[in-house]
Amino acid sequence: MTSSAPVEIRASTVLPARREPIVLRTGDGLDLVGELALPAHRDPVATLICLHPLPTAGGMMDSHLLRKAAYRLPALADLAVLRFNTRGTSSERGTSGGEFGGGGPERHDVAAAIAFCVAAGLPRLWLVGWSFGTELALMWGNVPEVEGAILLSPALRRAGDADLDGWAASGKPLIALVPELDDYLRPDEAKARFARVPQAQVIAVSKARHLWVGENHVRIALDEIVRLVNPAAWPLPTYWKD
């Protein structure tokens, strides 16, 4: 029997995984819809809890960078990837209960996702926030169960110095991937703002924009996530052989 030839990983590629629809129950009584993607044939070595961009601007669990993380990283890097819609947010998976709260009530959403992962026995919890999701990670994700946070296009509009000081005191890894051409916070300003967190890393991404459009920039983001969370699987391959 001849083996199949490697296939290039493209924007629409969906690699093998165990994918389960999930419902998160919040402390204030809401049901949030989501999905958990696990490696197909082994246990995960770490877990990504994905926090999506601003729902009032179209952000949801299917926002492309988070969707591609779920499509690729269980197979390529042995990671569990949990995505969910925060309160009042809709996607193909469905609509989560409640209404958009501007970032404050969403603390219950973050807590529900973390509690779900703990109850499921998932290992090494990392937050991956994008845009609005970075605010949720900074404000509500600095808890004992979380190992660190990766921030994609942080805006630092809702999260403030007190949140950054909390992360500084925790000593936990905090990594910001900042697009060179971001609409809200560019690398030089990000370095100044995050300077109050001694362990923070600010990584400037050349020619990237806030929405991480383009397969090249998606690969840079996913590669950095894997480098930080499971360096044994880094760098990510660009071809897949089943």
Question: What's the confidence (pLDDT) of residue 94?
Answer: 98
- pTM value is 0.97
Average model confidence (pLDDT) across the chain = 97
Q: Are strands 90-91 and 94-95 parallel, antiparallel or unpaired?
A: antiparallel
Instruction: Say if residue 230's pLDDT is above 50.
Output: yes
Question: What's the confidence (pLDDT) of residue 228?
Answer: 97
Average pLDDT of the segment spanning 81-108: 98
Instruction: Say if residue 1's pLDDT is above 60.
Output: no
Distance of CA 25 to the CA centre of its chain: 20
CA distances from 116 to 138, 189, 233 (A): 19, 35, 26
Question: What's the confidence (pLDDT) of residue 79?
Answer: 99
Question: 163 by DSSP, 3-state: which?
Answer: helix
Question: What's the confidence (pLDDT) of residue 242?
Answer: 79
* CA–CA gap between residue 225 and residue 81 (Å, rounded): 12
* CA–CA gap between residue 185 and residue 170 (Å, rounded): 24
pLDDT band at 3 (very low <50, low <70, confident <90, very high): low
pLDDT band at 211 (very low <50, low <70, confident <90, very high): very high
The pair phi, psi for residue 217, each rounded to 5°, is -75, -35
What pLDDT digit, counting tens, does each position of 29-38 carry?
Answer: 999 999 999 9
Domain boundaries, the chain: 21-235
The pair phi, psi for residue 18, each rounded to 5°, is -90, 115
Instruction: Say if residue 66's pLDDT is above 70.
Output: yes
CATH of domain 21-235: 3.40.50.1820
* CA–CA gap between residue 34 and residue 20 (Å, rounded): 9
Instruction: Say if residue 56's pLDDT is above 60.
Output: yes
Question: What's the confidence (pLDDT) of residue 4?
Answer: 76
**Crossing angle between the packed helical segments 107-119 and 132-140, to the nearest 10 degrees:** 70
What pLDDT digit, counting tens, does each position of 160-194 carry?
Answer: 999 999 999 999 999 999 999 999 999 999 999 99
Average pLDDT of the segment spanning 64-79: 98
> Do 7 and 235 meet the contact criterion of CB atoms below 8 Å apart?
no
What pLDDT digit, counting tens, does each position of 37-48 carry?
Answer: 999 999 999 999
Q: What percent of the chain has pLDDT over 70?
A: 99
